[in-house]
Structures are given as C-alpha cells and as structure tokens.
Structure 1
Amino acid sequence: MPGDYAVLASVYDDIGLNSFAQRMTPILVDFAQQRDWLGRRFVVLGCGTGASVEYLSNYMYTIVGVDNSPQMLAAARQKLDQSGASVRWLEADIRELGDAVGHADMVLALNVLNELNSLRDLEVVFTQVHRILEPGKLFIFDLHTIQGLTEQGRSGDAIVTDSTHLSVFVSDEYDYERQMATRHYLIFRRQGESWQRSEARHVLRGFPVQAVASLLQRAGLKVNGIFQLDLDPYEPGVSQASRVVFLVEKP
C-alpha cells in the first residue's frame, strides 16, 4: 500500500480522495465540542495530504500529523508548512507510534482504519491510542461497513476525472471471502507533449462494527456512540449505513 500511495499522492486531491476528511473534520470537531470536549493537542492518524490538519491549523491547535507514506507527507508539507501552523509531521506506521507522537486531547483517524489487514491490527492501533490519549479525551474515527464496501465493489468501471492534463479511470472489485474491496487506478498525466501512465490500487477491508466496538473496550476505551455520517445513531442490525463514525473516550 505505501508504494501505491507513492503514485496516488500526486493526484490524491485532484481526484477527490481528500474530500471526506475535508468535509467531515469540521463537523466532527464541532460535534465533539457540543459534547463538552475541550483540548488543544491533536494527533491525526493517516493524515494523508493534510485535509484534516489544514482545517485544524486555522484554529491554532497543536497538531501531529502521522502517515507512513513519505510522498503523502511531502504533499501535506507543501500545502501547510508556509502557513505558520503548529504542525509536526511524523512518518510512522500507526501501529507503531512510539514516544515521538507525544500525548493528545483528541486522536482523529479518517479514511484510514479500513486499510489495516486484520482485527488484530485494529486492536494494536487502539492500544496505541489508549497510550497517547489523555484521560477524558476523545478518539474519533470512521469505518466503512461491510455493506458499504460490498456496494463499492459492485460499482464497476468509471472515469473519475478527465481534463486536459489528467485522466483517471477506476475499476472496483470485491472479495466476498476476505471481505475486501479493491479499487484499481489507471492514471494518465500530461508531461509536456506526452502522457505518462501509472497504476495503483487501494484496498479496504471490512470489519464487523460490533467486533470493532468490543476491541475498543478490550483496549480500555469507552465507546460513547456509533453514528451514521449524518450523526444519527447507528444501530447494528437495524441501520443501513455504508460508513459509520465512532466517538470513543479514554476513561
């Protein structure tokens, strides 16, 4: 996956892969504040090209952006290092944060946890979050549901952008046995008078929502709520949602 992000980093924002974090970060921070969250220190896991960090930097938070792709971090730095924001960038696997990340009043992870390989990997991340999160503070993340990934995998082929300098085609597939959605990218970028072709893939794995909630509790975290993207409560087995948001607290 890191190798695929070496390809995707240069087109990530152009094809809208940053749009979810860009749209949801202000909504989720406001949602937390409505529930009496207060704090200054953010750790953004899987920060990518910096959509969440860019919003947070407008409000003078102290931010650590973590990503395991140097190309994605370079794109984020290019956007934000001239802004004067208090941002520290950390190239790291979110399963192995170490002491360099410091402590946080909120840990935010958007568009990232479905990229982990297993429930065991999720549990490792949750343990890391418990270690860095201050008591009474929040961990907020989203998760594609198995239903949502199944729908994505049936999407077929599409053109996601087609301009004078960039054309990107995608094809989707779903592995029912491994609960895994794969999106293949075929990218053509204009370089002078010629076109450069590259390929990448993006793999997302589905995890049962209830199993994820159990792992959070086992890691010593408290699930304050599971919500649909409109922030209505999500009820496992009842709600039909392609994606959910977890609001989690360290007691």
Structure 2
Amino acid sequence: MNYAFFSYVYDTLMDVTLYGKWLEYTNRHLEKSGQRVLELACGTGELAIRLQQSGYRVTGLDLSDEMLSLAMNRQLDAGVRFPLIQGDMRQLEEVGSFDAVTCFSDSLCYMRDENEVLKVFKSVYRILEEDGWFLFDVHSIHKIDNLFPGYMYNAELEDVVFLWTSYAGEEPHTIEHDLSFFIEEEDGRYRRYDETHRERTYPIPMYTNLLKQAGFQHVNVTGEFGLSDIEDTTERWFFACKK
C-alpha cells in the first residue's frame, strides 16, 4: 500500500479522539507494568506514543517508510523513544516475541483476501507469548457495504488540496478510496498525485474461523471499542484474542 502522500495529511484528517478510545480498549485487556506490545501498522506513531507513556514497552511496525519517518519525528516531539521497524505484518518472524500485539484503525482491511488475513493471524500467533493478547479492529460489513460507497471528502490545507472519493469494489464487501492530492510547488503551480486504497472485510464467523486456524481458541468480538454488543448498524468490530 502506497502512503507516499496520504501519510502527510493522515494526522490532519484523523479523528484524534479515537486514539484515546483505542488506548482505553487496550488498557482493559492488558497490564501496564512493562508489558511488551507490538503495534502493527503504527502509522505516524500517535497511539504507540500513548501506549509507551502509559507504561508499556512498545515497538511500532509499519510497511510505509513515510509513516515511520513521521513517527520518528513525533517521538522526538513527545520526548519518548521506542523501536520502529519497517516490516510486513504478514511476516513477523524476525521481530522477536511480545506479550501483546495490537492492530487498530481497520489496518487488517488492507489485506487483499482471506489468505493474507490468515497469514497475519498465524504470524501474530507465533510471536505472542503464552497467554498473550492480540487486539484488533476491522470495518463492519455494514460500514463497507452501506456507508462508504458514495462517500466524498475535500480538504484544503496550507499547501495541499485533497480530494477523497469512495466507491464499492468488485469483490464482496470491498471498498476503493480514490485519493487525489494537488500539491503546491516552488513556482506556485499545483501538481496532481493520485493514490487508490482498497479495503475489504468479511463476516464475523470468517474472522473467528481464521483465528482458530491460526491457533487462537479464546476470541471475544464486541462493538464500538468493546463498549457494546454487535448490532446490524455497528460500524467497527473489535476482536480480543488470547493465546
């Protein structure tokens, strides 16, 4: 997934209140006394920093060099330090072992098919200590099928004009986000850059079956940030899986 330009507007577009909710969800499942936490798809590092400040020993992993560069700068601004790894969540063999792994902000929805999702689950299971937790969220089918198609968002930042349009993909429960960036250059003219982000989700029984194939036997699925049961209109599903 190419975040070459999206990474620089990500924080501007992100609802920052979500980071506190992800932190609270994590705190309800983990102890903070020095537990080793791997945050997959750590992005610009905001949640990883909050986890570190809360007492966890954090490692951040992301596929995007651009995101990791921003995460490093954010670390310096916050006055905290922890390892940042450029890597693929489907291949975690070299990152060590952890007491918990998190993967929030629907990052798993960027996997192309269920086989890739299974690779992530197996990879996470292998690096988790016994009794370790794997915490993640995904878009619900309701959100992918009913809320995203036709979504449009435009933003004018200091030197970037940003256009976002979403439409249904060809495969079941998929969505495609077309992102266009008009970036001001030194001569005052704007150059256009385009990215397409594809996301996919699956029925809850598919996720739980894949988790069991990977080895997880204790899986709890809830609605918004673990605070509600699953309903037809739930937009985000949260999974708490114990090894």
Q: TM-score, normalised by structure 1?
A: 0.86
Q: Give the aligned residue type for 1:249.
A: K
State the partner residue of 2:175: 181
State the partner residue of 2:11: 13
Runs of 4+ in 1 over 6 A off after TM superposition: none
Instruction: Give deviations 1:199-221, integer Å, cap 9, x for gaps.
Output: 11211012111111111112111
State the partner residue of 2:28: 31
Per the alignment, do residues 15 and 37 of structure 1 end up closer, same or farther by CA in structure 2, a change over 3 Å counting? Answer: closer
| 2:209 aligned with 1:249 | no
Q: Which runs of 5+ in 1 are unaligned?
A: none
| 2:69 aligned with 1:74 | yes
Per the alignment, do residues 203 and 135 of structure 1 end up closer, same or farther by CA in structure 2, a change over 3 Å counting? Answer: same
Q: TM-score, normalised by structure 2?
A: 0.89
Shift of 1:125: 0.9
Amino-acid identity (%): 23
After the TM superposition, which of the residue ranges 225-234 and 138-147 deviates more from structure 2? 225-234
Equivalent-residue separation in structure 1 for 2:72 and 2:64 (angstroms): 12
Per the alignment, do residues 25 and 218 of structure 1 end up closer, same or farther by CA in structure 2, a change over 3 Å counting? Answer: same
Instruction: Give deviations 1:21-66, integer Å, cap 9, x for gaps.
Output: 5243222122214xx6865101011111112212112134221111
Q: Which runs of 5+ in 2 are unaligned?
A: none
After the TM superposition, which of the residue ranges 110-119 and 175-184 deviates more from structure 2? 175-184
CA contact (8 A) 1:42 1:108 kept: yes
Equivalent-residue separation in structure 1 for 2:152 and 2:232 (angstroms): 28
Matches within 5 A, 1:1-251: 1=1, 4-16=2-14, 19=16, 22-33=19-30, 40-81=35-76, 83-99=78-94, 101-111=95-105, 112-159=107-154, 161-175=155-169, 177-192=171-186, 193-235=188-230, 239-250=232-243
CA contact (8 A) 1:41 1:61 kept: yes
Shift of 1:165: 2.9
Instruction: Give deviations 1:86-133, integer Å, cap 9, x for gaps.
Output: 41111111111122x111111000121000011111111111111111
CA contact (8 A) 1:226 1:233 kept: no
Equivalent-residue separation in structure 2 for 1:22 and 1:230 (angstroms): 11
- RMSD of aligned Cα (Å): 2.2
Aligned residues: 241
Per the alignment, do residues 88 and 95 of structure 1 end up closer, same or farther by CA in structure 2, a change over 3 Å counting? Answer: same
Equivalent-residue separation in structure 2 for 1:52 and 1:32 (angstroms): 16
Q: Give the aligned residue type for 1:110.
A: F
Shift of 1:195: 2.7
Shift of 1:82: 5.3
After the TM superposition, which of the residue ranges 110-119 and 225-234 deviates more from structure 2? 225-234
Per the alignment, do residues 215 and 132 of structure 1 end up closer, same or farther by CA in structure 2, a change over 3 Å counting? Answer: same
Q: Classify the secondary structure of the residue corresponding to 1:47.
A: coil
